[in-house]
Amino acid sequence: MAQSDTRRGNAKTSGATLEKKKPGRRTSKGRMRLRVILLLLIIIILLPLLLVYFITESQNSLIYSEVSRMPSRPVALVFGAGLNRDGTPSWMLADRIDAGIALYKNGKVQKLMMTGDGIENNEVNAMSLYAQQRGVPVSAIIKDSGGLRTYDSCWRALNKFQIHSAILVTQGYHLPRALYLCNSLGINSVGLKAGLERYPGQDSYNSREFLAILGSWIDINIFKPTPEASR
C-alpha cells in the first residue's frame, strides 16, 4: 500500500510538472510571434522612410538655386501647378514660369516646355501666354497638355517630344521626385529651384510629396505605366 501510494504521488507530481511546463511553452511561442510581428511592423514603417530618404538625397547634387550656375540644356521642363479662378497661373506656377523665363533669357535653354493639364483647365495655354507676355517668343515654347502628373510629364518629354537632356523647373520640395523620375526614365536632367522655400499650406504639400515619392518609386520599378502619348 505504501509503495502504491508513493507511485500515485509520483504520478501526480509528474502530471503537475507537465501541466506547469505546457503554459511555459505556449508563453514562449507567444513571445516569438509577438517579436516577429513587431519586426514586420518596424520593416513596414522603416522601408518607406528609407526609400524616400534615398530618392531625395540621391538627387540633391543635381539641384541648383541660381540661374547663373546652371549648366546649359536644350530645354527647360516647366511643370504645371494649377490656375487661379480667373484662369491665370497660381502663385506657385507663376514662380515656376518666371524661373523658366530667366533660364531662357540667360541663354541656358533654347526652349521652354510647358507641361501640365491642358484638357480640363487649359493650364498649358495659360502658362504659354504668361511667358509670351514677358518676352518669350511663341517659337521657343513647347506645349504638352498631357502632363497630368509628374511621371506623365517626364515620360512624354522623352517618348513624345524626344527630349533627352533638360533642366527641370519647379519648387524645391518637388524637385527630387521630378529629377528621380526623369533621370530614371532616361532624360539627363538637372533642376532649378523656383520660387520660395515655403508657401501657404507647405506642410500639406510636404506630406503629400512623401506619398508621391513612394508612388514614383513604384511606377519606375513595378508598374512602369505608359501614359497616352498622342495628345
Q: Would you mind telling me the total number of residues written for the chain in this entry?
A: 231
Share of the chain above pLDDT 70, in %: 87
Which residues are CB-neighbours of 53 under 8 A, at least 6 positions away?
none
pLDDT category of residue 25 using cuts at 50, 70 and 90:
low
Provide the phi-psi class of 101: left if phi over 0, else alpha when psi is between -120 and 50, else beta. Answer: alpha
- 58, pLDDT greater than 80: yes
pLDDT at 185: 98
- 18, pLDDT greater than 50: no
pLDDT category of residue 118 using cuts at 50, 70 and 90:
confident
**Contact (Cβ atoms closer than 8 angstroms) between residue 115 and residue 144:** yes
Helical residues (DSSP H) of 173-218, grouped into ranges: 175-185, 202-218
Q: Average pLDDT, stretch 157-178?
A: 98
- 161, pLDDT greater than 60: yes
pLDDT at 179: 98
The three grid cell numbers given for residue 7, joined into one nine-digit string = 507511485
DSSP 90: P
- 151, pLDDT greater than 70: yes
Q: Is the pTM of this model over 0.85?
A: no
How far apart, in whole angstroms, are the C-alpha atoms of residue 144 and residue 113? Answer: 7
pLDDT at 198: 94
Of 38 and 150, the one with more pLDDT: 150
**Contact (Cβ atoms closer than 8 angstroms) between residue 147 and residue 186:** no
What are the pLDDT digits (tens) for 182-227? 999 999 999 999 999 999 999 999 999 999 999 999 999 999 999 9
Of 168 and 8, the one with more pLDDT: 168
- 43, pLDDT greater than 90: no
What are the pLDDT digits (tens) for 71-102? 999 999 999 999 999 999 999 999 999 999 99
How far apart, in whole angstroms, are the C-alpha atoms of residue 111 and residue 142? Answer: 7
Q: Which residues of 99-132 are buried (b: 16+ CB within 10 A; e: fewer)?
A: bbbbbbeeebbebbbbbbbbeeebbbbbbbbbbe
Phi, psi of 91 (to 5 degrees): -55, -50
- 16, pLDDT greater than 90: no
How far apart, in whole angstroms, are the C-alpha atoms of residue 51 and residue 35? Answer: 24
Was domain 62-223 assigned CATH 3.40.50.150? no
How far apart, in whole angstroms, are the C-alpha atoms of residue 112 and residue 97? Answer: 9
